[in-house]
């Protein structure tokens, strides 16, 4: 089974985003960037499907292709995925911050070319917080989708996915090929070892241009401004529980 994993380069999850003074966006100059944390989980699961870790049979995945759409430096993100165990990478170079619809259309073109049996991807990018591309890719391909995966079992030509939903857990079986988006508790991603980082340097990354795919990536949304949310300021410290209760009563919330 061939697995495609789209990975995005985003602001590191430990960094608090700052809005630019001119309200045109978020300041990313000199900010630490990393692989979107959910995408790390997707790469880890793909590698486990190949290695036969946990409940997966060894060789469930035979080839793992990682793809990123973004700036030249997104190659570092792809290298990280290769060091974790992916086999080869594709970078679709774009300096523009493409919208989910455009990203989904480009990924569809990659799927048409690569013909994977499974697309494993993050449920959400932590910069745009869209939670959209996986569902959109599935729609464009007319494939079934299983989002917010907390557990994945491959067998009988299906992906059986336990989804983290409001109210608890829901298990669905999607006929392959399918798109699965991953949630936080699917696994804990590994750190790449030094030898694997060295090995990853020799793995292939094909660099493509958006124009190579001939899809319409025009923006549909115009960002009028990006502003800072109202700030919450620290309140007071109370000495003990009794003072806390009396303050809460005064505030009318008890």
Provide the binding-site residues for ligand FAD, judged by CB under 6 A. 13, 37, 126, 184
Residue range at the interface with another protein (CB under 8 A); choices 8-16, 48-56, 83-91, 201-209: 8-16
Q: Which long-range contacts (CB under 8 A, 24 or more apart) does 219-226 make?
A: 219/99, 219/102, 220/99, 220/101, 221/99, 223/24, 223/25, 225/23, 225/24, 226/19, 226/20, 226/23, 226/24, 226/25, 226/26
> What would the two tokens of residue 202 be?
């020799």
- Residue 124 sits in the site that holds ligand AMP (CB under 6 A): yes
Site residues (CB under 6 A) for ligand AMP, limited to 38-77: 38-39, 68-70
Contact mark string toward another protein, 139..158, x via CB under 8 A: xx--xxxxxx-x--------
Closest CA to 134 of 207, 213, 42, 211: 42
DSSP assignment of 54-103: TTSPTTS-SEEEEEEEE-TTHHHHHHHHHHHT--EEEEEE-SS---HHHH
Six token digits for residue 219 = 């923006």
For the bound state, the minimum distance from the C-beta of residue 120 to another protein, rounded and expressed in Å, comes to 16
Binds 116, which of another protein, ligand AMP, ligand FAD, none (CB < 5 to 8 A, cut-off by type)?
A: none
Interface characters, 88-107, with ligand AMP (x: CB under 6 A): ------------x--x----
CB 134 within 8 A of CB 123: yes
For residue 64, the minimal CB distance to ligand AMP (Å) is 14
Contact partner at residue 16 from ligand AMP, another protein, ligand FAD, none, CB < 5 to 8 Å by partner kind:
another protein
Give yes or no for residue 29 binding another protein (CB under 8 A).
Answer: no
User: Does residue 72 touch another protein according to CB under 8 A?
Assistant: no
CB of 129 to another protein, least distance (A): 5
Distance, in Å, from the CA atom of 251 to the CA atom of 210, rounded to the nearest integer, reads 56
Instruction: Compute the least distance from the CB of residue 254 to ligand AMP, in Å.
Output: 39
In the complex, what is the shortest distance from the CB of residue 184 to ligand FAD, in angstroms, rounded to a whole number? 6
Identify which of residues 71 and 247 has a Cβ nearer to ligand AMP in the complex. 71
Answer for the pair 173, 160: CB distance below 8 angstroms, yes or no: yes
Q: Look at residue 234 and give the partner it binds from ligand AMP, ligand FAD, another protein, none, a contact being a CB closer than 5 to 8 Å depending on partner kind.
A: another protein
Cα–Cα distance between 7 and 35 in angstroms, integer?
A: 7
């Amino acid at each position: 089974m061939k697995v495609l994993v789209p990975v995005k380069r985003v602001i590191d999850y430990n960094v608090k985003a700052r809005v630019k003074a001119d309200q045109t966006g978020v300041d990313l100059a000199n900010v630490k960037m990393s692989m979107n944390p959910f995408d790390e989980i997707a790469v880890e699961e793909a590698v486990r499907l190949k290695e036969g870790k946990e409940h997966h049979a060894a060789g469930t995945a035979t080839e793992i292709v990682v793809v990123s759409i973004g700036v030249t430096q997104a190659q570092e993100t792809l290298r990280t995925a290769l060091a974790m165990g992916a086999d080869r990478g594709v970078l679709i170079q774009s300096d523009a911050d493409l919208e989910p619809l455009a990203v989904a259309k480009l990924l569809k073109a990659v799927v048409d070319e690569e013909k994977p049996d499974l697309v494993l991807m993050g449920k959400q990018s932590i910069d745009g917080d869209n939670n959209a591309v996986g569902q959109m890719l599935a729609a464009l391909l007319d494939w079934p989708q299983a989002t917010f995966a907390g557990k994945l079992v491959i067998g009988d030509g299906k992906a059986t996915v336990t989804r983290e939903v409001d109210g608890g857990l829901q298990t669905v079986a999607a006929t392959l090929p399918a798109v699965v988006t991953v949630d936080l508790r699917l696994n804990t991603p590994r750190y790449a070892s030094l030898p694997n980082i060295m090995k990853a340097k020799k793995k292939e990354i094909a660099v493509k241009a958006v124009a190579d795919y001939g899809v319409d990536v025009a923006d549909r949304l115009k960002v009028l401004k990006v502003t800072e949310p109202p700030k919450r300021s620290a309140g007071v410290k109370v000495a003990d529980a009794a003072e806390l209760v009396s303050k809460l009563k005064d505030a009318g919330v008890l």
